[in-house]
């Protein structure tokens, strides 16, 4: 047993007590000094010290950048006794515009690029190396060739050529044109398809994006993409060299003289070493430090007591809510999301003017977080929880659109990703899901991002894009949950706050800062006032003063006599004795008097501010509005309603859409706003691009949440919401309807009905190939199933040929292939259930069948076309009413000349007829060119056919009068 020396003090304690006390001390130190932000300025100690050190070093927005290594060294030396790695990581984070809503650090320099002798093709026809361009001023612009998001060569603005890495490892690429390029292995080259690949991963099979300039002069010069495919050969030279980069802000790529475009990435790559990167404060960061020299905040000794540092910054900017923060302490986690500056300013002003404002009223102004990466916030409950109780779960989604390509395939374009999601990690997850067949139907995933996110997911033909998109939301980081915890330090202790409390603490901090600033300014003014009063006393008796000074034995004697004779203070007397003779001029005396009078007003104003809290509130309001005017921008993150288990309908506004369906059953929807108002005589807009033989057959307006009922020849009905129809441009064909419904391969769509409301006043009237008709209440079709429902129970070898929406009092018209027609009252058919077979509508002859069913209109005529190209129009009145189930009347003679009937339409003057032959020929005829003749005739030639050719189908193109076209294409001029 060791015997302790007499001077050694040993205290016996239970280890549990020692561990508890020591751990609590450590935990409190970590939480208050490292992990949790202060509610007043929204900063953790590390970020506060970096900003203060940079401000003290003069690294402001209008001064040149300095090496990050110098900043880190200054912070570590004087303020932050931790390693340089964490300090540099914190500094880099404050410069990332994808991490902070309003970055506080302006950084430059990141990745290595090319050797200094690598040349860039410039717009003026010259070719300059990186070394030559680096001699220019950083802000001096030079023009380069770039590629935009559409693959077109455009003009880019280059600037700030600089060394980004010293003595970097290089690789050498040899192009098939013989040119060689030396660059760092991680630099990315643009490929022909618009994607990018690092130099070290290029192979001879890769086709780089080439640049071909036919004429470098101005005027009629042309330039574009060369048709050849450069290949590359890579060698790894032993040499090292300094490497350079330039900045091309908008397009972020440029053309090398060697003939290829190169590109900088925005991926989650680590920053360059601090000795190569540079930084300075952004302009908005100065708002955090404003008036710090006016005793606005308390200071404390630094860790080695060699200088002082602020306990908190004045923070004119409400940084805590604008930029948010994340911190992990001991037993605590803080995760405050960023917000829109303008909204936070408006909310702070509302609370300033009305301290009793409710959180609901604040939420009306501050609807939710506003992330720098934009995206979509799904649902408002999580936001409300975070704002009311300080904790909430916020769902964030990527922004995506579905595009239809000319080849008929669709693709998903992702243009924004959720906050704090790394693009590379998202892509890797997508690749794995496709490779593991967790998600099928994806043929390709491409990263076409430059300075903006653009991920392209190509889909297999026939896939339902919305289903695949939902699976991506479910299985990838395209949808994430942000767990907001509004924890911060209040009076040095961690506390979870609601939105109102956070704004209140910020405003109280600003009130104190402005009060202390005003007191500081008042003291300075009073000191100056005291000096000016002494000047004024002396100047009023300047001759006596001069005589006194001249008669004094020494300056000390002169000081004493001045103080006693004119009742001056020591400070006044010293200032008077230090006055220059030029201050005795009349003009100088006038300036002193003017300054004194202005100072009196300034002092009165400052005293009024200190006496009147309302004046302080007004100053805060004015400063906040100034911040909003100077730095405010539009909201980036869109907030949408909760969609539950990916019910797409909740995301879609119930707005009117123009639905077009082609003869070959391609369908699409277009917003009504796409069609701008045009009066008669307008030049119109470009329409759909159709494949040969297809044409637009139906155009109607329906709202996004309406249904379209589709009926198949097997007697089944399928539903499709309008918003489920792919939205496409005017020139797009759309998508095949059969690919959007779960129909069998040999099942064909024969009719469709747009439904506004499943009411009790309408019916669906159906007819089959074998002459069976049936009427059902529309309400029977109000409960959709994705697999479809039975609309009519068909007999063997029968098919459904038509469905019409009626009101129960119309005349029904049936026409057969043999030229017979029947017209009967709809009320002769009672309403039946969905599974009923129906009743006989017309008695058919052997080998005859019904080819058309329609609802008779008194103003219409009947157009009948036969397979040999003949047809006629007959007045509806010639088709007299009969009883249901009769043989009917002759609609057209089906002689050997005419052949059988292939189509019948209800038409009117102004309509047009499309006739399609077996050889694929299409004829478009105005109905006014076809005369109205009697029923019992053979008709006239509609289409001239070849000997082996027959008419196989017809379609009616309805006329649209001026009022209808204006209703369809109207976009109120007041909105333009």
Question: Where in the sequence numbering do the catalytic residues fall?
Answer: 276
SS3 content of the chain, % helix, strand, coil (to 5): 30, 30, 40
User: Can you read off the two tokens belonging to residue 944?
Assistant: 């001239």
C-alpha distances out from residue 480 to 239, 394, 397, Å: 46, 8, 7
Gap between the Cα atoms of 720 and 321, Å rounded: 44
Contact present, 415 and 452 (Cβ < 8 Å)? yes
d(CA 702, CA 428): 40
Between the two ends of the chain, the Cα-to-Cα distance in Å is 95
Token pair in block for residue 908: 């009117």
Give the whole-angstrom CA distance, residue 157 versus residue 252: 9
Q: Are 316 and 512 in contact (CB under 8 A)?
A: no
Is residue 470 within a helix (H) or strand (E), and if so which, with residue range? helix 465-475
Task: Pull the structure tokens for residue 141.
Answer: 């612009």
Q: What are phi and psi of 477, to 5 degrees?
A: -80, 15
Retrieve residue 617's tokens: 């509130």
Q: Taking the CA atoms of the chain, what radius of gyration do you get in angstroms? A: 41
d(CA 838, CA 829): 9
If 0-12 CB within 10 Å is exposed, 13-18 middle and 19+ buried, where does residue 189 land?
Answer: buried
Report how far residue 517's alpha carbon sits from residue 520's, in angstroms, rounded to the nearest whole number: 5
With 0-12 CB in 10 A as exposed, 13-18 as middle and 19+ as buried, what is 563?
A: middle
Q: Yes or no: say if 232 and 190 are a contact pair by the CB < 8 Å rule.
A: no
For every residue of 400-456, which 3-state class applies, written as one string?
EEEEECCCCCEEEEEEECCCCCCHHHHHHHHHHHHHCCCCCCEEEEEECCCCCCCEE
Q: What is the pairing mode between strands 749-755 and 707-712?
A: antiparallel
User: Which pair of structure tokens corresponds to residue 426?
Assistant: 């998202």
Inter-axis angle of helices 45-56 and 68-78, to 10 degrees? 110
CB 729 within 8 A of CB 670: yes
DSSP 898-924: T-SEEEEEEE-TT-EEEEEETTS-EEE
**Residues composing the chain:** 976
At 470, list the tokens. Answer: 């939902």
* DSSP state letter for 463: -
| Alpha-carbon distances of 676 from 682, 686, 975, rounded to whole Å | 11, 12, 10
Residue 263 tokens, joined: 């590109």
Long-range contacts (CB closer than 8 Å, 24 or more residues apart) made by 715-719: 715/768, 715/790, 715/791, 715/792, 715/793, 715/794, 715/799, 715/800, 716/743, 716/747, 716/788, 716/789, 716/790, 716/791, 717/781, 717/788, 717/789, 717/790, 717/791, 718/742, 718/743, 718/788, 719/784, 719/785
User: What's 56's DSSP letter?
Assistant: H
């Amino acid at each position: 047993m060791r015997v302790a020396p007499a001077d050694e003090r040993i205290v016996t304690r239970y280890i549990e007590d020692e561990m508890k006390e020591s751990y609590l001390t450590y935990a409190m130190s970590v939480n208050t000094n490292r992990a949790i932000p202060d509610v007043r300025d929204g900063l953790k100690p590390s970020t506060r010290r970096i900003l203060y050190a940079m401000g003290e070093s003069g690294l402001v927005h209008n001064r040149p950048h300095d090496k990050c290594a110098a900043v880190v060294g200054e912070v570590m030396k004087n303020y932050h006794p931790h390693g340089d790695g964490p300090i540099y990581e914190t500094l880099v984070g404050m410069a990332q515009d994808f991490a902070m809503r309003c970055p506080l650090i302006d950084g430059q320099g990141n990745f290595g690029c090319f050797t200094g002798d690598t040349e860039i093709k410039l717009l003026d026809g010259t070719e300059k190396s990186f070394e030559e361009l680096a001699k220019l001023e950083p802000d001096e612009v030079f023009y380069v060739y770039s590629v935009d998001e559409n693959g077109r060569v455009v003009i880019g603005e280059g600037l700030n050529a600089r060394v980004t890495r010293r003595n970097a490892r290089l690789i050498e690429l040899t192009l098939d044109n013989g040119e060689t390029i030396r660059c760092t292995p991680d630099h990315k080259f643009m490929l022909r398809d618009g994607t990018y690949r690092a130099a070290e991963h290029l192979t001879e099979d890769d086709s780089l994006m080439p640049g071909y300039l036919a004429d470098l002069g101005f005027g009629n010069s042309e330039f574009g993409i060369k048709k050849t495919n450069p290949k590359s050969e890579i060698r790894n030279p032993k040499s090292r060299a300094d490497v350079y980069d330039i900045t091309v802000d908008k397009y972020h790529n440029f053309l090398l003289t060697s003939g290829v475009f190169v590109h900088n990435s925005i991926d989650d790559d680590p920053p360059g070493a601090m000795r190569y990167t540079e930084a300075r404060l952004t302009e908005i960061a100065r708002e955090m430090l404003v008036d710090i020299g006016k005793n606005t905040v308390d200071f404390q000794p630094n860790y080695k007591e060699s200088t002082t540092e602020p306990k908190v910054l004045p923070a004119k900017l409400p940084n805590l809510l604008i930029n948010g923060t994340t911190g992990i302490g001991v037993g605590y986690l803080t995760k405050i999301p960023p917000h829109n500056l303008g909204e936070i300013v408006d909310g702070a002003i509302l609370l300033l003017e009305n301290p009793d404002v409710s959180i609901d009223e604040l939420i009306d102004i501050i609807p939710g977080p506003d992330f720098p990466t934009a995206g979509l916030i799904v649902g408002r409950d999580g936001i409300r929880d975070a704002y009311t109780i300080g904790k909430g779960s916020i769902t964030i989604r990527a922004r995506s659109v579905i595009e239809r390509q000319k080849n008929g395939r669709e693709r998903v374009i992702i243009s924004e990703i959720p906050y704090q999601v790394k693009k590379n990690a998202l892509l890797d997850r997508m690749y794995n899901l496709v490779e593991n067949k967790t998600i099928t139907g994806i043929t390709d995933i491409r990263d076409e991002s430059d300075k903006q996110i653009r991920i392209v997911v190509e889909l297999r033909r026939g896939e339902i894009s919305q289903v695949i998109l939902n699976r991506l939301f479910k299985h990838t980081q395209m949808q994430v949950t942000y767990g907001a915890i509004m924890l911060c330090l209040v009076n040095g202790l961690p506390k979870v706050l609601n939105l109102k409390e956070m704004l209140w603490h910020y405003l109280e901090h600003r009130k104190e800062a402005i009060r202390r600033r005003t007191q500081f300014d008042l003291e300075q003014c009073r000191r100056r006032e005291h000096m000016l009063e002494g000047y004024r006393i002396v100047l009023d008796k300047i001759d006596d003063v001069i005589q006194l000074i001249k008669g004094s034995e020494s300056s000390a004697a002169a000081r004493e006599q001045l103080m006693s004779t004119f009742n001056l203070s020591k400070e006044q007397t010293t200032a008077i004795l230090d006055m220059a003779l030029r201050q005795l001029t009349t003009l100088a005396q006038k300036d002193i008097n003017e300054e004194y009078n202005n100072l009196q007003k300034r002092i009165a104003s400052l005293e009024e501010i200190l006496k009147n809290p309302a004046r302080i509130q007004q100053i805060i309001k004015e400063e906040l509005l100034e911040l909003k005017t100077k730095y405010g921008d539009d909201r980036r993150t869109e907030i949408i309603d909760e969609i539950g288990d990916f019910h797409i309908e909740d995301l879609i506004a119930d707005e009117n859409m123009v639905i077009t369906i082609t003869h070959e059953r391609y369908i699409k929807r277009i917003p009504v706003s796409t069609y701008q108002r045009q009066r008669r005589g307008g030049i119109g807009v470009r329409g759909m691009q159709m494949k040969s033989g297809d044409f637009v057959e139906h155009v109607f307006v329906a709202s996004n949440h309406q249904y379209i009922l589709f009926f198949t020849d097997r007697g089944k009905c399928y539903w499709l919401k309008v918003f489920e129809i792919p939205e496409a441009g005017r020139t797009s064909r759309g998508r095949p309807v059969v690919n959007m419904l779960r129909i069998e391969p040999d099942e064909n769509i024969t009719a469709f009905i747009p439904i506004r409301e499943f009411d009790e006043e309408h019916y669906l009237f159906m007819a089959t190939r074998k002459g069976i008709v049936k009427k059902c209440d529309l309400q029977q079709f109000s409960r959709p199933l994705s697999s479809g429902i039975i609309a009519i129970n068909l007999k063997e070898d029968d098919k459904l040929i038509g469905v019409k929406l009626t009101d129960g009092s119309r005349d029904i018209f049936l026409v057969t292939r043999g030229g017979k027609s029947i017209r009967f009252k709809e009320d002769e058919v009672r309403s039946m259930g969905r599974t009923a077979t129906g009743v006989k509508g017309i008695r058919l002859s052997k080998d005859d069948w019904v080819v058309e069913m329609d609802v008779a209109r008194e103003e219409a005529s009947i157009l009948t076309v036969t397979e040999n190209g003949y047809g006629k129009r007959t007045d509806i009145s010639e088709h007299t009413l009969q009883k249901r189930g009769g043989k009917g009347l002759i609609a057209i003679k089906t002689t050997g000349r005419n052949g059988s009937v292939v189509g019948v339409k209800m038409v009117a003057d102004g309509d047009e007829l499309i006739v399609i032959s077996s050889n694929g020929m299409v004829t478009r005829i105005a109905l006014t060119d076809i005369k109205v003749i009697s029923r019992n005739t053979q008709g006239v030639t509609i289409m001239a056919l070849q000997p082996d050719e027959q008419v196989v189908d017809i379609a009616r193109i309805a006329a649209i009068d001026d009022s209808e076209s204006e209703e369809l294409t109207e976009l109120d001029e007041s909105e333009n």
